[in-house]
Chain A
């Protein structure tokens, strides 16, 4: 799908004809697994005129074992090296799986790649509904996110932008031209909560409505979208052996998206001391105390608030 600006600054974007919905990229994030299983049995709810919508279980072995991954994190596996690695059966399970997914929905970066992949995730963090954007220049995805936010108001759906040179990672959805992450929490791993399941379902409904409207020729005028841009990853304080020596402070726990000011409590040691945030300015933390990130050396991410401009878009 190519995009280019015409004289009036409207980006002309090819229609989104092939859309995939990934659940179970992490096998213990249950909302996406349940939704994909549901829609695989009966896909009526996700059908839209003029678009093929394909539900897909990204990591079936991890889903069966109800673990995040079997050998390695599938949602970090879509690097160019992995996608072209020889070795077949000898490769870690998720690298093999990444290559299969790239064949079905890609190849990543090519003309044949799927137009949109929605990747459904849960988090143990109190993030509510969060859409994850991989590029500030993706006007199509930005317009979709603007549409979704307006459709569910006054309920909230925030946008996390990860364009960070080091912290950005090679996601399963990155195979598509327009990768859209959907992260809903808090929900424990291995648990299916009704409210979280419903929230994800509603967001996807609006996302697919947007695609249908766009494909039918609706023009979306330029707009601004508030996003939270990833700044840095903050780890737990650790001892010389790498063991954590403090926990997310009670004042910070569950306070995703609320301002964290220099001097605010950040961690509490096991013997009750407070560690304060030492940054030079106010940041907006997210992914606070996500279970899967202890091993990735991350207690939370910091972000800053930004307003992005999205070009007007219409079907090419």
Chain B
């Protein structure tokens, strides 16, 4: 069967500090800027610190979460005096790296994130795209010392709210566990390797290599679960020790998920699903203790450059 063809991926953007306290991306981008990385073979590379004010303050955001500001509606909303900083910044980034949905948008946007959850190395996609799934397959085949997983958020393109949806192709690299405001060398080295491998793959792709198809597994986000709370909204339980740090370990009905302060266990109900973002710090305010996903296998076609 003929491979599926894609145009060359010659313009790549790497962004860090979309959340200002997720430090790996901040320092990877700063180092790339210090080294003046702007062209690697056939690939031109733009680096950007997405949320500079939040980065300076070492906070996730100043007024509102930047990584929720990239829906079509928010990107085209008029700017007024009361528009939050991050919404303005999203429109600036869209002008620089997009516009989203247009021919001018960068070919590939990679957004670097950290999580306090024990997720290892994950690539997060808004939608399924054979090209980016091939990049995932490639990274997974080369980084064998750790689990490398793919998560799909399952949203139509126009509703996609993350920065990476601005590029023609995009994904986030999410690595944990790392506390906010902390820079771990092992995680820095991991993310740097993943970014370098992506750029290597792009050069091979652009030079005409065919990448053989095959099967890949991905976790498809299904729903999220909040902490038990009291009538005042205060949480009344913590993630159960058997679930804590066990992202991607299948959760079956009856498995413990929460332990209340008074010692009662709350168990998982409903279908078997895979938990992830277990005890992510930033999600307490979003009312998410953990997400749940189905695991699916996809058959990737072979792909090569369209000539």
Q: Which residues of B contact A231 (CB under 8 A)?
A: none
Q: Which residues of B contact A37 (CB under 8 A)?
A: 234
Contact B179 A291 (CB under 8 A): yes
Determine if B264 is an interface residue (Cβ-Cβ < 8 Å).
Answer: no
Q: How many residues of A contact B (CB 8 A)?
A: 31
Contact of A291 among B182, B186, B284 (CB under 8 A): B182
Residue of A124, A247, A292 most packed against chain B (CB within 10 A): A247
Chain A contact residues: helix, strand, loop or mixed: loop
Q: Which residues of A contact B101 (CB under 8 A)?
A: none
Determine if B27 is an interface residue (Cβ-Cβ < 8 Å).
Answer: yes
Give the Cβ gap from A280 to chain B, nearest Cβ, in Å: 25
Contact with A along B215-257 (1 / 0, CB 8 A): 0000000000000000000110011110010000000000000
Contact with B along A272-308 (1 / 0, CB 8 A): 0000000000000000010110110000000000000
Closest 5 pairs between A and B when the two form their complex, measured CB to CB? A188-B179, A291-B181, A190-B281, A247-B185, A124-B179
How many residue pairs link A and B with beta carbons under 8 A? The number is: 80
What are 5 contact pairs spanning A and B, CB under 8 A? Answer: A34-B261, A186-B179, A187-B179, A192-B238, A291-B181
Q: How far is A294 from B284 in the complex, measured between Cα atoms in Å?
A: 25
Contact A191 B185 (CB under 8 A): no
Contact A292 B181 (CB under 8 A): yes
Q: Which residues of B contact A291 (CB under 8 A)?
A: 179-182
Contact of B244 among A66, A190, A193, A243 (CB under 8 A): A193
Q: How far is A191 from B279 in the complex, measured between Cα atoms in Å?
A: 7
Determine if B183 is an interface residue (Cβ-Cβ < 8 Å).
Answer: yes
Contact B185 A294 (CB under 8 A): no
Residue of B31, B281, B284 most packed against chain A (CB within 10 A): B281
Residue of B34, B179, B186 most packed against chain A (CB within 10 A): B179
Contact B244 A270 (CB under 8 A): no
Give the Cβ gap from A116 to chain B, nearest Cβ, in Å: 24
Contact with A along B146-184 (1 / 0, CB 8 A): 000000000000000000000000000000011111111
Q: How far is A198 from B15 in the complex, measured between Cα atoms in Å?
A: 39
Determine if B198 is an interface residue (Cβ-Cβ < 8 Å).
Answer: no
6 more CB-based (< 8 A) A-B contacts, given A195-B244, A247-B183, A253-B185 = A124-B182, A188-B177, A188-B179, A192-B279, A244-B183, A247-B184
Contact A195 B179 (CB under 8 A): no
Q: Which residues of A contact B178 (CB under 8 A)?
A: 188
Interface residues of A in 229-256 (CB under 8 A from B): 243-244, 247-250, 253
Closest to A198 in B: B241
Given contact pairs A188-B179, A188-B180, A194 touches B261 in the complex (Cβ within 8 A): no
Q: How far is A268 from B183 in the complex, measured between Cα atoms in Å?
A: 11
Given contact pairs A189-B181, A193-B279, A270 touches B239 in the complex (Cβ within 8 A): no
Closest to A193 in B: B244
Q: How far is A14 from B177 in the complex, measured between Cα atoms in Å?
A: 47
Q: Which residues of A contact B284 (CB under 8 A)?
A: 66, 190
Contact with B along A180-210 (1 / 0, CB 8 A): 0000001111111111010000000000000
Contact of A289 among B30, B182, B235 (CB under 8 A): B182
Given contact pairs A250-B186, A289-B184, A291-B182, A194 touches B281 in the complex (Cβ within 8 A): no
Determine if B188 is an interface residue (Cβ-Cβ < 8 Å).
Answer: yes
Q: Which residues of B contact A268 (CB under 8 A)?
A: 185
Give the Cβ gap from B278 to chain A, nearest Cβ, in Å: 11
Determine if A90 is an interface residue (Cβ-Cβ < 8 Å).
Answer: no
Contact of A190 among B30, B180, B184 (CB under 8 A): B180
Determine if A81 is an interface residue (Cβ-Cβ < 8 Å).
Answer: no
Given contact pairs A37-B234, A188-B179, A194 touches B184 in the complex (Cβ within 8 A): no
Contact B181 A194 (CB under 8 A): no
